A = this chain, B = another copy of it.
Amino acid sequence: MSRARLRDLGVTTGTLPTGAWNAITDVPGVRVGYSTLVHDQPAIVRTGVTAIWPRGPELWTDAVFAGIHSFNGNGEMTGWAWIAEQGMLASPICITNTHCVGVVRDAVCAYAVRARVPMPWLLPVVAETYDGWLSDAGTFPITTAHAFAALDGAASGPIAEGNVGGGTGMICHEFKGGTGTASRVAQVAGDAYTVGALVQANYGARELLRVDGVPVGREIGLDVVPSHRDAPRDSGSIIVVLATDAPLLPIQCQRLARRATTGLAWVGGVGFNGSGDIFLAFATGNHVPHGEAITTLRMLSADNMNPLFQAAAEATEEAILNALTAAETMVGRQSRTAHALPLDLLTATMRRYRPAP
C-alpha cells in the first residue's frame, strides 16, 4: 500500500482547521529543505539533514523571536544558551543525526561566511535524533556539502515527509518514523494566525501509540508488526520545531514550545529517559533588524494565547502521525528492518473504535 498523509486516510485529529498545505510552510516565509542519504556503500547509511528557514535570507540580519523547551533533555540542540538569553534566532535551523550535529553546525557558519553575512560570528541551532540502529552512524557520513544542499534546496509549499532529510533513519513507536509536518489556523482577536510544526520523530513504545485517542499501538501489537527487538526502546528522541506568524515575544515563544509536550502526549510520548525531546518555537510576526537601536514590536496579549496553544498541540500531534503514515519500511545495517505502520490496519482500527450507533 502506498503511503499517505493521515487526513488522506480519512482520519482527522484536533478541531482547528489546517493551513493550505497542512505544513510548517503554511507560515509565510518559512522554507524547508532536505539532504537525504540512503546508500549501502561504502557503509550502510540511512541519514540526512533537514533545514528550516524561519524567513528568507534576510534572516541573517532580521531575526525572528524564538524560545526553547526541553521536555527531556537527552539530546542536543546547539544555540541553546543564545536563544535562552536573547530570545532571538538569526540563522536557519538544521536537524540531523546525533553524531553529525557538529559538522552541520559549523556548516551553517561556513554558509554564512560564503554568503558574506556581515556578522563576525554565529551560534547556529542544530538538533538531532539518533539513527544508529539502521544507519552506520560511526562513519560520520554527513558533510558540509550535505548541509549546504539542504539549506540551498529549501522551498515553501508542500514538503516531503517520512524517510527524508534528518528523519531518514528514524523509528517511532516501534514503527518506521521520520519527518512529519502539519499546521493549524487559529482565530485570535479578529485575526488568523498559522501555527506549523515539523517533527523528526524517533521515540516511543508501541503500546503507548494513540491516534485521536484510539489505542492503535495496542491493537497493532508486536505480534502483528514486529519491533526492532535488540535496541533499548528508549534510545530515541523527538525534535519539534514550531513556527507561527503571530506577533509573539521571546517569552511567549517559550510558552508555545512547551505545548509541543501536549501534542506529543496525545500520540503517546511520555519522555523516556534516553529521549531528547526538545522543542523550539519561533514567531515571524515581529522583525528585529540588526543595528536598530530601538525596535517597534507588536505583542499578542497573554489572554489571546489559548488558540495558539491549542494549535501548537494539534499541529505537533498530527505532524508525528504524518511522519508515521508517510514513512516507508526501511532495511538498514545488519539487515535490520524498521516496519512502516500498516495503513490498512490503522484505518481498520480507527473504524472499530468509532462510536457504536
Contacts and interface: CB of A to CB of B under 8 A. Distances in A.
A304 B293 CA distance: 7
A333 interface: no
A117 to B, nearest CB: 11
Nearest to A68: B81
Interface stretch (A17-25, A44-52, A82-90, A335-343): A82-90
A106 B101 contact: yes
Contacts of A291: 301, 303
Contact of A99 (B109, B219, B274, B351): B109
A250 B140 CA distance: 31
A255 B298 contact: no
B189 A293 contact: yes
Interface string A292-326: 11111111111111100110010000000000000
Given A98-B121, A102-B102, A271 B110 contact: no
Nearest to A14: B208
Interface in A245-295: 247, 249-251, 255, 258-259, 261-262, 265-266, 269-274, 276, 278, 288, 291-295
Contacts of A266: 265-266
Contact of A294 (B79, B87, B137, B189): B189
A291 B87 CA distance: 25
B294 A74 contact: no
A229 interface: no
Interface stretch (A1-9, A30-38, A156-164, A210-218): A210-218
Copies of this protein in the complex: 4
Contacts of A104: 102
B77 A73 contact: no
B309 A298 contact: no
B306 A295 contact: no
Interface centre among A75, A82, A259, A294 (most CB of B within 10 A): A294
B99 A106 contact: yes
A355 interface: yes
B302 A88 contact: yes
A110 B140 contact: yes
Contacts of A103: 102-103, 106
Contact of A76 (B100, B123, B132): B123
B99 A70 contact: no
A130 interface: yes
29 contacts: A70-B85, A73-B82, A76-B78, A76-B79, A76-B81, A98-B121, A99-B121, A101-B102, A102-B103, A102-B107, A102-B109, A103-B103, A106-B140, A120-B130, A121-B132, A219-B355, A249-B249, A250-B250, A258-B271, A261-B261, A266-B266, A273-B302, A273-B303, A273-B309, A274-B303, A291-B303, A296-B299, A297-B297, A352-B355
Interface of A: 15, 70-82, 84-88, 98-107, 109-110, 113, 120-123, 126, 130, 132, 137-138, 140, 188-190, 207, 210, 212-215, 219, 232, 234-235, 247, 249-251, 255, 258-259, 261-262, 265-266, 269-274, 276, 278, 288, 291-306, 309-310, 313, 351-356
